[in-house]
Structure 1
Amino acid sequence: MLYDIENHDLLYDALVRRDPAYDGRVYVGVTSTGIFCRLNCPARNPKPENCRFFATVGECIESGFRPCKRCKPVATAAEADPAVKILVAAFEADPARRWTEADVIALGLDPSTVRRSFKRQFGVTFLEMARLSRLRDGFVTLSDGGRVIDAQLEAGFDSPSGFRSAFARLLGQSPASFTGEEFLKADWIDSPIGALVAVSDRSSLHLLEFVDRKALPRELSRLRDATRGGIGIGRFAPTEQIEAELKAYFSGEGARFETPMTYHGSPFTREVWLELRRIPAGATRSYSDLAKAIGRPSATRAVARANGANQIAIAIPCHRVIGADGSLTGYGGGIWRKQKLIELEQAYASQGGEQTHVASGQGTVIRGSAS
């Protein structure tokens, strides 16, 4: 639960003391090394400002951290399930391998069974973990201005075509296609509930999505078509701003997002998104509530479609929309993330913290070039 992870000082003290009470309950990601560990890891203690704490191994992996080779946090968590233990051992022995279902079968395991077991244990499947672990390294190299070949090797791909293929599935284009002159730039942002890709131009944010969202390549393709200026690797000021605001949001400092945004949608869709931003943190609305709020009470289904078309996660809080019966309904980032975001925001409300997003107008760029 997010509220268990918010007390940074308490958890850092537990890390320094190597408190066994936290073993298996909390993990630490070290931003200076990109490694995550158990809190009783024998390695030298990192600086407190370089530490991020997570409730599960899956959250560490989705945020782009690699498991420590000394305390072996993934292997420890896998001890309870023999099949998961076999996969973890195979991954640690060959992390640069491009793992497939055929490899899983070759280990004498049933892919569908271990898929469920692995996700139950870590929050991600084995193949997702392997892919994200490798691509994150290459993504960071490119973002820092490194060459494609360096990114390929950093990501552990022996084949340039294999790296380009994997990268294309994530961003929808080959890394070799980047010129450095693109109108938009994409970069990786870590969060306690998984890594996100942020895309911005020099003045506004265009997209903020979880890396593992299946619709991400399609959304990026539409964005390229809408802007006609290409998407490169790197960041502009709006990405820096949204990263800082997300950090404040997850650390409990505030739920206000003032990063300028470009909305790619029809006038109706933009109207729905603006209404989403008026929902206070800690509150929820149904689709019919939204339809009534924009003066279109019979447009519930259209409102639901507009909600699902949102390409700026968290800051345009589509996660605050639930079913009329109180059920969480769908969420592109995963129901488990929706649950955690709502729980975090309910803590804001109960503590009397900042509860509102920017509504409309202030710092917002609106462009209706795509639907």
Structure 2
Amino acid sequence: MMTRETMYQAIIDKDVKFEGVFFTAVKSTGIFCRPSCTARKPKIENVEFLETANEALKKGYRPCKVCNPLEKLGETPTFIKRIIEELNENPSLRFRESDLISRGIQPVTIRRWFLKNHGITFNAYQRMFRINSAFKKIQKGEAVTIAAFEAGYESLSGFNDLFKNVFGAPPSQSRDKNVIDLTRIETQLGTMIACAVDQGICLLEFTGRKMLETELKSLAKILKAKIIPGNNRHFSMLTQQLNEYFEGSRRQFTIPLFMPGTKFQQKVWHALQQLPFGEIRSYKQQAIDIGSPDAIRAVANANGMNRIAILIPCHRVIGENGAMTGYGGGIWRKQWLLQHEKKS
């Protein structure tokens, strides 16, 4: 369990790993903050640590104007959400600087946001969205020329050059290529990256996971696919079910999942999905449950290779002695998830 000292050190360090895990209420000012707030830190004797923002509000604390604890950390600004929604509805749209300025948006602002949160500029993001849309049309049998112009490309040669640069082959030779769609989802515990293919969600991880880049590269290699920002029919259901889970109104996920891995890994992951909501198991119990009582270490390794956090609840597995063992999303997130499920 977290101690006052642990939580106080987290706010001194402005540690985002504790985001959503607790809130800091300052008795002398009547203000409450998120753990990563950059405002001046109070003395520990003046601090009250609370589990939720609602608890802080009920006790009369006011939200900090510096860190805005009532908002999700890293939440996509409303004006960017609208633009992404428009691109989802019509990938052929092309937002130029003049279009942004007419909406009261500074081009440098949106460029910096996309560089920080997607690692590419807004213009590059739009290009990837269009090329993703065109690729899917070609895969469904549509002529290359029609797919290119429907995706908003004015030059067929320019489209062919970009397509070959992304997929390593011209559109006419891309039948054996695949795409993994990628998006960001903000949750109470921080931003998550989601990936999906036609079969279902194939990755869901917190952005701070150290193995995230390795997981993305591995997934792309296994599926022989390019990971590109784009819309996917599973993303809206995923967002809805995650919101319901964090609100405490959902105990079971029904969204389709796609879990490429070895037979043993898949056996472990399927068993994880059967763990009852609000209950925990040890790695030893999990090994016994799948009929491999001597494979405790292999089970633990398979849990660690799980790419779909929360939906495949590896957070429900703890050490034999009851210790909170490692969790890719952070040990405090694991503790929060278990407490959340116990109370829901």
Q: Specify the TM-score bucket, using the shorter chain as the normaliser.
A: 0.5 to 0.7
Pair 1:141–1:216, CA change in 2 (3 A): farther
- SS class of match (2:309): coil
1:180 equivalent to 2:137? Answer no
* Greater alpha carbon shift after TM alignment, 230-239 vs 142-151: 142-151
Pair 1:144–1:301, CA change in 2 (3 A): farther
Superposed CA deviations along residues 270-311 of structure 1, whole A, max 9, x for unmatched, are: 000011111111111111111111111110110000000000
Q: Which residue of 1 aligns with 2:163?
A: none
Q: TM-score, normalised by structure 2?
A: 0.57
Deviation at 1:322, TM superposition (A): 0.3
Contact 2:252 2:277 in 1 (8 A): no
Superposed CA deviations along residues 212-253 of structure 1, whole A, max 9, x for unmatched, are: 112111111112222223222133121111111111111111
1:106-185 equivalences in 2 (<5 Å): 145=87, 153-155=108-110, 157=112, 167-168=118-119, 175=125, 179-181=131-133, 183-185=179-181
Matching residue within 271, 282, 288 for 2:284: 288
Contact 2:199 2:258 in 1 (8 A): no
Write the distance in 1 (CA, Å) between the matches of 2:75 and 2:248: 28
Write the distance in 1 (CA, Å) between the matches of 2:204 and 2:300: 19
Write the distance in 1 (CA, Å) between the matches of 2:262 and 2:327: 21
Contact 1:137 1:154 in 2 (8 A): no
Write the distance in 2 (CA, Å) between the matches of 1:203 and 1:222: 18
Q: How large is the Cα RMSD of the aligned pairs?
A: 3.7
Deviation at 1:153, TM superposition (A): 2.9
Q: Which residue of 1 aligns with 2:251?
A: 255
Superposed CA deviations along residues 64-110 of structure 1, whole A, max 9, x for unmatched, are: xxxxxxxxxx45x43438xxxxxxxxxxxxxxxxxxxxxxxxxxxxx
Matching residue within 201, 208, 216 for 2:197: 201
Deviation at 1:157, TM superposition (A): 3.5
Contact 2:189 2:333 in 1 (8 A): yes
1:341-352 equivalences in 2 (<5 Å): 341-348=337-344
Q: Which runs of 5+ in 2 are unaligned?
A: 2-22, 44-66, 68-72, 88-92, 101-106, 136-178
Contact 2:187 2:243 in 1 (8 A): yes
Contact 1:141 1:154 in 2 (8 A): no
Matching residue within 301, 311, 314 for 1:315: 311
Contact 2:206 2:329 in 1 (8 A): yes
Q: TM-score, normalised by structure 1?
A: 0.53
Contact 1:138 1:154 in 2 (8 A): no
Contact 1:310 1:316 in 2 (8 A): yes
- SS class of match (1:209): strand
Pair 1:267–1:142, CA change in 2 (3 A): same
Q: Which runs of 5+ in 1 are unaligned?
A: 2-22, 27-37, 41-54, 60-73, 82-121, 123-128, 349-371
* Greater alpha carbon shift after TM alignment, 232-241 vs 142-151: 142-151
Write the distance in 2 (CA, Å) between the matches of 1:292 and 1:225: 32
Write the distance in 2 (CA, Å) between the matches of 1:135 and 1:213: 23
Superposed CA deviations along residues 311-354 of structure 1, whole A, max 9, x for unmatched, are: 00001000001000000010000011000000011113xxxxxx
Contact 1:205 1:261 in 2 (8 A): yes
Pair 1:298–1:134, CA change in 2 (3 A): same
* Greater alpha carbon shift after TM alignment, 289-298 vs 145-154: 145-154
Write the distance in 1 (CA, Å) between the matches of 2:336 and 2:118: 29
Pair 1:297–1:166, CA change in 2 (3 A): same
Contact 1:199 1:206 in 2 (8 A): yes
Write the distance in 2 (CA, Å) between the matches of 1:185 and 1:264: 16
Matching residue within 242, 246, 251 for 1:246: 242
1:294-333 equivalences in 2 (<5 Å): 294-333=290-329
How many residue pairs are counted as aligned between the two chains? 231
Pair 1:341–1:328, CA change in 2 (3 A): same
Pair 1:345–1:133, CA change in 2 (3 A): closer
Superposed CA deviations along residues 45-78 of structure 1, whole A, max 9, x for unmatched, are: xxxxxxxxxx85258xxxxxxxxxxxxxx45x43
Write the distance in 2 (CA, Å) between the matches of 1:39 and 1:192: 23
- SS class of match (2:277): coil
Pair 1:332–1:147, CA change in 2 (3 A): farther
Contact 2:75 2:186 in 1 (8 A): no
Pair 1:137–1:57, CA change in 2 (3 A): farther
Pair 1:58–1:197, CA change in 2 (3 A): farther
Question: Aligned AA for 1:294?
Answer: I
